[in-house]
Amino acid sequence: MTTPLPIDPGAITEAAAVLRRGGLVAFPTETVYGLGANALDPSAVARIFAAKGRPANNPLIVHVLDAAAARSVVAVWPELADRLAQRFWPGPLTLVLPKNHAVPDTVTAGGPTVAVRVPAHPVALALLREAGVPVAAPSANRSGDLSPTTAEHVRRGLGDRVDVILDGGPCLGGLESTVLDVTTNPPRLLRPGLVSPTELAAVLGKAPQPPDRVCESEPLPSPGLLARHYAPRTITECIAHSAEDRVLKLVQNGGRIGWLTIEAPSNPGGPAVVIRMPEDPKEYAARLYAELHQLDNLGLDRIVVSRPPDGEAWQAVHDRLRRACVIT
Residues numbered 223-252 forming contacts with Mg ion, rule: CB under 5 A? none
223 contact, one of ligand TXA, Mg ion, none, CB 5-8 Å limit per kind: ligand TXA
Min dist. Cβ of residue 116 to Mg ion (A): 16
Confirm if 80 and 184 have CB atoms less than 8 A apart: no
Q: Taking every pair of C-alpha atoms in the chain, what is the biggest distance, in angstroms?
A: 61
CA distance 177 to 30: 9
Assess contact for 211 and 299: CB atoms under 8 A. no
CB of 50 to ligand TXA, least distance (A): 15
Three-state SS for 324? helix
Closer Cβ to Mg ion, 175 or 182, answer by number: 175
Of 5-13, 131-139, 241-249, 307-315, which segment contacts Mg ion by CB under 5 A? 131-139
Beta carbons within 8 Å of 263's beta carbon, 6+ residues apart: 306
Q: 294 touches which of ligand TXA, Mg ion, none (CB within 5 to 8 A by kind)?
A: none
> Distance from CA of residue 53 to its chain's centroid?
17
Helix axes of 122-131 and 9-20: crossing angle, nearest 10 degrees: 50
* Adjacency order of strands within the sheet including 257-261: 236-239, 302-306, 257-261, 273-276
Nearest-CB residue to Mg ion? 139
The residues with which 96 forms a beta bridge, in sequence order, are 115, 181
**Is the Cβ of residue 23 or residue 144 nearer to ligand TXA in the bound state?**
144
Binding region for Mg ion (CB under 5 A) out of 134-142, 167-175, 265-273, 295-303: 134-142
Indicate the SS3 state at residue 154. Answer: helix
Q: Site residues (CB under 6 A) for ligand TXA? A: 29, 31-32, 34, 58-61, 92, 94, 96, 108, 111, 113-115, 119, 137-139, 176-177, 179, 190-191, 222-224
- Residue 146 or 247: the one with the smaller Cβ distance to ligand TXA is 146
How many CB atoms are located within 10 Å of the residue 21 CB? Answer: 11
Report the residue number, 89 or 230, with the smaller CB distance to Mg ion: 230
| 149 forms part of the interface with Mg ion (CB under 5 A) | no
Shortest Å distance, C-beta 210 to ligand TXA: 15
304 binds, among ligand TXA, Mg ion, none (CB under 5 to 8 A by kind): none
Report if residue 139 touches Mg ion, rule: CB under 5 A: yes
Contact between 285 and 173 under an 8 Å Cβ cutoff? The reply is yes
Span of 65-73, 136-144, 180-188, 203-211 interacting with Mg ion by CB under 5 A: 136-144
Q: What is the helix (H) or strand (E) element at residue 36, kind and residue range?
A: strand 34-38
**Residue ranges in contact with Mg ion by CB under 5 A:** 139
